[in-house]
Copies of this chain bind each other. A is one copy, B any other.
Amino acid sequence: MEVDFRIRMNEKLYLRDPELSVLGKKIVKQGLELIIKLGFEDFTFKKLAIQIDTTEASIYRYFENKHRLLTYLMAWHWSYLEQKMVFYTNNIKEPELRLRKILELLAAPATEKSGSDFITERLTYDLVMSEGAKAYMTKHVNLDNRDRLFKPYKDLCGRFAAAILEYNPKYKFAHSLASTLLETAHSQKYFMHHLPSLTDFGMEKDDKKLLRFLEALLFDSIKPAIKK
């Protein structure tokens, strides 16, 4: 099933909307690829400019700096994921199945060609795993937050939390559990690839075990107290 969502991005994320020009799209698309390839630290606008045959100055007309580009990409990812979550769960009435679907989306390596013409979900997923935290781990989090740059992440978390509360309205830590599972999905996957002894997943290519872990974490936490 192939669906294309229209993602509405916060205007504070950019100086000039990259979706509205060929150059803008190239900056975002190839920027994403280059950040993944070089790592965020070694990535520069200069290198990107050379790769897409433009100038540093032109890129600076779209994004204040590389951190804003990263934040843009993360915001896009979270927005996309939220839309996907809505789309794939809103006809599921059973709270448990809904939650299972959500976890699948979180742990999923994302289908081949999903996303949009200029951003592919597969890549933002990799990015969020390997660089995601750097979007908010800065001295200027609070300012960025005031500009609502992290709203997509919070919305996603909020929706997840709401689904948790539908399953068990008495659970006391819905938001913390939701953000923990979001973070855990990425950190465990990262560990699995780079620091496997921090996990129990071995080096298996599929994410089934990770999904089992997330499910256990979630349902053991929110199952009503009296069982079996």
Report A's interface with B, CB cutoff 8 A: 38-39, 41-42, 130-131, 133-134, 136-139, 141-142, 145, 150, 153-154, 157-158, 172-180, 183-184, 187-188, 190-191, 194-195, 197-201, 213, 216-217, 220-221, 223, 225-228
Contacts and interface: CB of A to CB of B under 8 A. Distances in A.
- As for how many copies of this chain the complex holds, the number is 2
Judged by DSSP, the binding face of A is helix
Contacts of A150: 195
Nearest to A221: B220
A213 B173 contact: yes
Contact of A227 (B41, B180, B227): B227
Given A197-B158, A228-B227, A191 B179 contact: yes
Given A131-B137, A180-B180, A221-B221, 11 more contacts: A39-B138, A41-B138, A136-B195, A153-B198, A157-B198, A172-B200, A173-B213, A174-B200, A175-B197, A180-B188, A220-B221
Contacts of A200: 172-176
Contacts of A139: 38-39, 41-42
A227 B224 CA distance: 11
9 contacts: A41-B139, A42-B139, A137-B190, A176-B198, A176-B199, A178-B198, A217-B221, A225-B228, A227-B228
